[in-house]
């Protein structure tokens, strides 16, 4: 059981005084004499993650001090309050702090995110401490964000044996049912009839049929289409990945998990959008039926693609989904995908690189990302590199040689399939926390979706 909601404000609550290193001395001076003496004798400094329980007359903790670290710690890390939660005993706590605005929201959301545990395969207890929603935050909104984030994490963390195309479809269907969205799926050979040849080609070697998931919700407002890479396992295909590179490839549906998490936030909060979610769900497997290096595929859009590496499969399945998305020309298409190793080399696991030709969308997203502490970094759709994705005998090359700008050329490849929609934004995410940080245990993680959730109203009204 996750503990990602606020506690009800009834009965006894205990104060959790939050101090940074800079304001700890002054803060301690304001405590009642017994607590002050105990805190000074214990040497509480306000360091990040530091917790000091303050005993009452019966020896039971009746209050606590929590450290927020130095100002520079807060620039280095996020959700520092999350690291306090597990150290507190059960009971219901309330913040006592000078935090306000976005800082207070970050602290409250950090607390909720610290309640995430992936307990599908082994029981894991979430922290016992509860928190009353601090005054001044939109509690419902923060709970919605935490629930969307938890969905993305759960989907990514579930191994491919239990999260194949069928199970990913079931998860999407479940979400659609919960929010009254319409839901359609095209599976297996039907993909050829419905003209999704590249989704079929990439997924046909697996015993688990490839499919295209199509969810729609909302009847008024601007049109937003989200497209997520749903490669449930990426062996690399005939260009087989080496073991070390294949190990984490259950997370290759991280783009799909992220767009579903974002869709959950949008639907649960009742935003006035016409939302569509498209997910090509496949397994890039090895079998006699597998597509091959040198094959030339004709995409839904009619562009032909020379396969120079079967491990560059994400852009193929996304291309057909993007072409479908583009046919109705929504106001904005956003794709999210664990698309390239090159993106990781460039910015590491924390930052979500994104591409857009709209300076105003980029500015709105960057501002939101900073405010909600969901870091993103703009990358260029660099037109001069278009020639790198043009091979000899087809329109496009799925795996340019040379090893330059791998994330950029993948993004340029995708952009070729969006020609009628006024604005297109693409995220090349990692979807995984390699080592635990406050509020982010090792494992699947949302990237860019909290920033998008915050920025989308501005992006879509400005459009
Ligand atoms: N899913 C991988 C990309 C990936 C690898 C993301 C590791 C995160 C961590 C993708 O399908 C892939 O294999 N891309 C290749 C493309 C290349 C063959 C042009 C890559 O990045 O090496
Ligand atoms: Mn691959
Ligand atoms: Zn992949």
* Per-residue pLDDT tens digits for 257-269: 999 999 999 999 9
pLDDT tens digits for 31-90? Answer: 999 999 999 999 999 999 999 999 999 999 999 999 999 988 888 889 999 999 999 999
- pLDDT tops 70 at residue 462: no
Whether 315 lines ligand 1, by a CB cut-off of 6 Å, is: no
* pLDDT score recorded for residue 136: 95
Mean pLDDT of all residues in 110-126: 96
Domains 2-132 and 143-462 alike in fold: no
Q: Examine the residue annotation and report whether 264 is marked as an active-site residue of this protein.
A: no
From 315, 344, 373, 440, active-site residue? 315
Per DSSP, 270 falls in state T
Expressed in angstroms and rounded, the spacing between residue 309 Cα and the centre of ligand 2 is 9
Q: What does the block give as tokens for 303? A: 């562009």
Distance between CA atoms of residues 437 and 13, nearest Å: 28
Q: Examine the residue annotation and report whether 292 is marked as an active-site residue of this protein.
A: no
Q: Which residues neighbour ligand 2 (ion) by CB within 5 Å?
A: 234, 311, 313
- Report which ligand 1 atom has the smallest distance to the Cα of 338: 6
Q: What percent of the chain has a predicted confidence (pLDDT) above 90?
A: 96
pLDDT tens digits for 186-233? Answer: 999 999 999 999 999 999 999 999 999 999 999 999 999 999 999 999
**Does residue 135 or residue 2 have the better pLDDT?**
135
- pLDDT tops 90 at residue 11: no
Expressed in angstroms and rounded, the spacing between residue 171 Cα and the centre of ligand 2 is 23
Give the residue, by CA position, lying nearest to ligand 1 atom 16: 312
* pLDDT score recorded for residue 458: 97
Q: Which fold has domain 143-462?
A: Aminopeptidase (3.40.630)
Q: Which fold has domain 2-132?
A: 3.40.220
pTM greater than the 0.95 cutoff: yes
Pick from 203, 176, 181: nearest CA to 191: 203
Whether 311 lines ligand 1, by a CB cut-off of 6 Å, is: yes
**CA-based diameter of the chain, in Å?**
83
Give the residue, by CA position, lying nearest to ligand 1 atom 13: 311
Distance between CA atoms of residues 26 and 48, nearest Å: 17
Count CB neighbours of 463 within 10 A.
15
Expressed in angstroms and rounded, the spacing between residue 246 Cα and the centre of ligand 2 is 9
Binned at pLDDT 50, 70 and 90, residue 289 comes out as very high
Whether 312 lines ligand 1, by a CB cut-off of 6 Å, is: yes
Mean pLDDT of all residues in 147-166: 98
- Residue ranges per structural domain of the chain: 2-132, 143-462
Expressed in angstroms and rounded, the spacing between residue 34 Cα and the centre of ligand 1 is 59
């Amino acid at each position: 059981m996750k503990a990602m909601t606020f506690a009800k404000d009834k009965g006894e609550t205990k104060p959790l005084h939050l101090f940074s290193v800079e304001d700890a001395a002054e803060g301690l001076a304001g405590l009642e004499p017994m607590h002050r003496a105990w805190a000074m004798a214990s040497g509480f400094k306000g360091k990040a993650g530091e917790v000091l329980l303050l005993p009452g007359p019966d020896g039971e903790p009746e209050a606590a001090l929590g450290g927020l670290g130095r100002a520079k710690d807060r620039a280095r890390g996020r959700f520092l309050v999350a690291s306090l939660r597990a150290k507190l005993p059960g009971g219901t706590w309330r913040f006592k702090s000078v935090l306000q605005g976005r800082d207070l929201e970050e602290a409250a959301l950090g607390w909720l995110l610290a309640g995430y545990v992936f307990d599908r395969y082994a029981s894991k207890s979430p922290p016992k401490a509860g928190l009353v929603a601090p005054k001044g935050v939109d509690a419902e909104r923060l709970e919605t964000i935490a629930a969307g984030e938890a969905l993305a994490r759960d989907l990514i963390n579930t191994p491919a044996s239990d999260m194949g195309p069928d199970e990913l479809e079931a998860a999407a269907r479940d979400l659609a049912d919960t929010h009254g969205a319409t839901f359609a799926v095209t599976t297996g050979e039907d993909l050829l009839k419905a003209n999704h040849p590249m989704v079929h080609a990439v997924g046909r070697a697996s015993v688990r049929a490839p499919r295209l998931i199509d969810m729609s919700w909302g009847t008024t407002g601007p049109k937003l289409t989200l497209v997520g890479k749903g490669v449930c396992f990426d062996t690399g295909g005939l260009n087989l990945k080496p073991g070390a590179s294949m190990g984490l490839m259950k997370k290759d549906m991280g783009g799909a998990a992220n767009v579903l998490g974002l869709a959950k936030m949008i639907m649960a909060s009742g935003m006035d959008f016409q939302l569509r979610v498209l997910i090509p769900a496949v397994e890039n497997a090895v079998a006699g039926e597998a597509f091959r290096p040198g094959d030339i595929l004709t995409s839904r859009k009619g562009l032909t693609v020379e396969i120079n590496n079967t491990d560059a499969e994400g852009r193929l399945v996304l291309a057909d989904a993007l072409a479908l998305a583009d046919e109705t020309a929504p106001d904005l298409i956003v794709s999210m995908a664990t698309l390239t190793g090159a993106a990781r080399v460039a910015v590491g696991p924390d930052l979500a690189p994104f591409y857009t030709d709209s300076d105003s969308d980029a500015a709105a997203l960057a501002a939101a990302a900073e405010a909600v502490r969901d870091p993103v970094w703009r990358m260029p759709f660099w037109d001069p590199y278009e020639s790198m994705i043009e091979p000899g005998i087809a329109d496009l090359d799925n795996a340019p040689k040379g090893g330059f700008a791998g994330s950029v050329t993948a993004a340029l490849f995708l952009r070729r399939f969006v020609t009628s929609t006024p604005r297109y934004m693409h995220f090349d995410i990692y979807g995984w926390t390699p080592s635990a940080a406050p509020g982010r245990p090792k494992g699947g993680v949302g990237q860019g979706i909290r920033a998008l959730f915050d920025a989308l109203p501005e992006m879509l009204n400005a459009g």
